[in-house]
A and B are shown apart, each in its own frame.
Chain A
């Protein structure tokens, strides 16, 4: 019951955040110079044609009326028509979002699976070589631009070693309809087509690795700092005084209280991951939403911009809601304080 109340409160807040987001993006997209109708029709279109399209899109209306139309459509789940693809934005997003989602999820899993243990190892052997190695890696990973890592991996694994595919989500000519969740790995499993799952994973590996390195370094750094912080607590010393073995102390007594900061940062990383995904999507010809969104921005494809931003925003908000729930599970203090508040 308490949990449902917490969820309801958080959902209400999230809704508010999304409405705020929609206003900001709506205004920004329209204030930026450049006429969408002119850009869509090209330089050789006549003034009449442009005016006609402007009227059709409602661009001649006052801003608040345009926003009203947009929000009205959004409430019905209708994002309008894309000028660029001349299809409904809903359809565009439905086809591109799963690709980005699959990429981002794989990225997060890789970043977490390696980043957290690296941080634990660094904290365990603080100031000795594993620690120095992890810290150096974290800095290098943070400093190298994603596009550079992506190209490096592509050249190395794709052309030099030729062990992994470097473009797309599946080999060309693969007959497979991902019509359940849109996620190839999940749908492949659901339909029992293991070769599709295997191929999808092979295609996913390089782009996800390229996208995950910076986050992985970040996770390792935060985990390390948090573990060291906890290691200085009296309760760790107490556990030592009572003869609780190193291994148990490290994972049970130290890692769990230290787990909240990396978890929280992970939630925030999602925003930059979706942004960073566009570089990776372009380089690996990944048919994702991030690349679609960037194209929409350069072309001032207003409906598509709004659609991409709103979907990313919703995704971000939901992920962070999930993370809040996880944080409460990991640390009872947060749960209990929340109950009192």
Chain B
């Protein structure tokens, strides 16, 4: 199977106040068309930097990419002209942001924000859609993320919505321009577990229904088990282990992976009295 996204030997360093730190050391990972892949690791392991490098959001400087390729759909994103790079962003590949409380602009309505994104995505893709067409599409994606009253949500300011609803809006935002790859940055971490479970289920259903490729970035192995069939484990800027999700859980090879698995709280067993 050909890969939609293929990161090959990516190395990134950060230079701040004259000191340079190697943050990614030859990271390679593949996300095949329509596959659900997870990248797991603890804070500081380099998973967010990997994600930002893929999206082209790394601030350079202080960051510097000194080796590797990021192939998307057969083209190397790192050598692509900026214009074409920007054209992909939010359209062919888009991102589900992590924090529903801070990732929406507080002074514009949901519809305003979604249709602004759509307007410029349309422009980049040379699509022709008027204001009414954009509104229709916004309402459509809001219903896709199972909003009960999409019209009302569209007219709301973020502060008027619950955390779970805002997270759904963030998913809707990512779906606006029919992406082929969805990169999810620990969605729902900021929410309570019940809501998070609903969000993850929604995300998986949407990905399966629309045949999207999903790259789930998380520190939570519970989330990995729920949302992926292939896992990369990352530690200190390197991929230390990879494999199909079921195999990895059944027989982790690395001590680091075993530690991560052991760190997931169990909901079975005796209750201490």
What residues make up the interface of A, taking CB atoms closer than 8 Å to B? 233-235, 237-245, 248, 252-253, 256-257, 330-333, 336-337
Nearest Cβ on chain A to B106's Cβ, whole angstroms: 5
Q: Tell me whether A243 and B117 are in contact (CB under 8 A).
A: yes
Q: Within 8 Å CB of B95, what residues of A?
A: 238, 241-242
Interface residues of B in 193-234 (CB under 8 A from A): none
Q: What residue of chain A has the Cβ atom nearest to residue B51's Cβ?
A: A241
Chain B: residues with Cβ within 8 Å of the partner, total of 29
Given A245-B120, A252-B116, A332-B157: A239 touches B94 (CB 8 Å cut-off):
no
Q: Does B105 lie at the interface of the complex (its beta carbon under 8 Å from any beta carbon of A)? A: yes
Interface residues of B in 58-102 (CB under 8 A from A): 86-87, 89-91, 94-95, 97, 99, 102
Q: Tell me whether B159 and A333 are in contact (CB under 8 A).
A: yes
Nearest Cβ on chain B to A329's Cβ, whole angstroms: 10
Given A234-B99, A242-B173, A243-B90: A336 touches B157 (CB 8 Å cut-off):
yes
- What total count of A-B pairs have CB within 8 Å? 76
Q: Within 8 Å CB of B141, what residues of A?
A: none
Nearest Cβ on chain A to B103's Cβ, whole angstroms: 5
Q: Within 8 Å CB of A257, what residues of B?
A: 105-107
Q: Tell me whether A235 and B102 are in contact (CB under 8 A).
A: yes
A233 to B121, CA, bound (A): 22
Q: Can you give 27 A-B contacts (C-beta < 8 A)?
A: A233-B102, A234-B102, A234-B103, A238-B95, A238-B97, A238-B103, A238-B104, A238-B170, A240-B57, A241-B57, A241-B95, A241-B97, A242-B94, A242-B95, A242-B117, A242-B120, A242-B176, A243-B90, A243-B91, A244-B120, A245-B120, A248-B120, A257-B106, A331-B107, A333-B106, A333-B107, A336-B159
Q: Within 8 Å CB of B94, what residues of A?
A: 241-242
Given A235-B102, A237-B57, A336-B160: A243 touches B120 (CB 8 Å cut-off):
yes
Partner of B116, one of A237, A248, A330, A333: A248
A240 to B159, CA, bound (A): 21
Q: What residue of chain B has the Cβ atom nearest to residue A258's Cβ?
A: B107
Q: Within 8 Å CB of B106, what residues of A?
A: 235, 257, 331-333
A244 to B176, CA, bound (A): 13
Nearest Cβ on chain B to A233's Cβ, whole angstroms: 6
Q: Within 8 Å CB of A240, what residues of B?
A: 57
Given A241-B94, A244-B120: A330 touches B107 (CB 8 Å cut-off):
yes
Q: Within 8 Å CB of A241, what residues of B?
A: 55, 57, 89-90, 94-95, 97
Report which residue of A241, A253, A336, A337 has the largest number of chain B beta carbons within 10 angstroms of its beta carbon: A241
Q: Does B135 lie at the interface of the complex (its beta carbon under 8 Å from any beta carbon of A)? A: no
Q: Within 8 Å CB of B160, what residues of A?
A: 336
A237 to B121, CA, bound (A): 16
Q: What residue of chain A has the Cβ atom nearest to residue B102's Cβ?
A: A234
Q: Within 8 Å CB of A248, what residues of B?
A: 116, 120
Nearest Cβ on chain A to B249's Cβ, whole angstroms: 31
Nearest Cβ on chain B to A90's Cβ, whole angstroms: 44
Q: What residue of chain A has the Cβ atom nearest to residue B57's Cβ?
A: A241
Since A235-B102, A241-B97, A336-B159 are in contact, a sample of 12 more A-B pairs with Cβ atoms closer than 8 Å, ordered by chain A residue number, is A233-B102, A238-B170, A239-B105, A239-B117, A241-B95, A242-B94, A242-B95, A242-B120, A243-B87, A243-B90, A248-B116, A253-B105
A243 to B159, CA, bound (A): 24
A243 to B55, CA, bound (A): 10
Q: Does B124 lie at the interface of the complex (its beta carbon under 8 Å from any beta carbon of A)? A: yes
Nearest Cβ on chain A to B141's Cβ, whole angstroms: 13
Which 4 residue pairs are nearest across A and B when measured between Cβ atoms?
Answer: A242-B90, A234-B102, A243-B90, A243-B89
A252 to B115, CA, bound (A): 13
A336 to B87, CA, bound (A): 36
A246 to B240, CA, bound (A): 38
A341 to B214, CA, bound (A): 43
Q: Tell me whether B121 and A332 are in contact (CB under 8 A).
A: no
The 0/1 profile, CB within 8 Å of A marked 1, for residues 153-164 of chain B is 000010110000
Q: Tell me whether A242 and B121 are in contact (CB under 8 A).
A: yes
Q: Within 8 Å CB of A235, what residues of B?
A: 102-106
Interface residues of B in 151-188 (CB under 8 A from A): 157, 159-160, 170, 173, 176
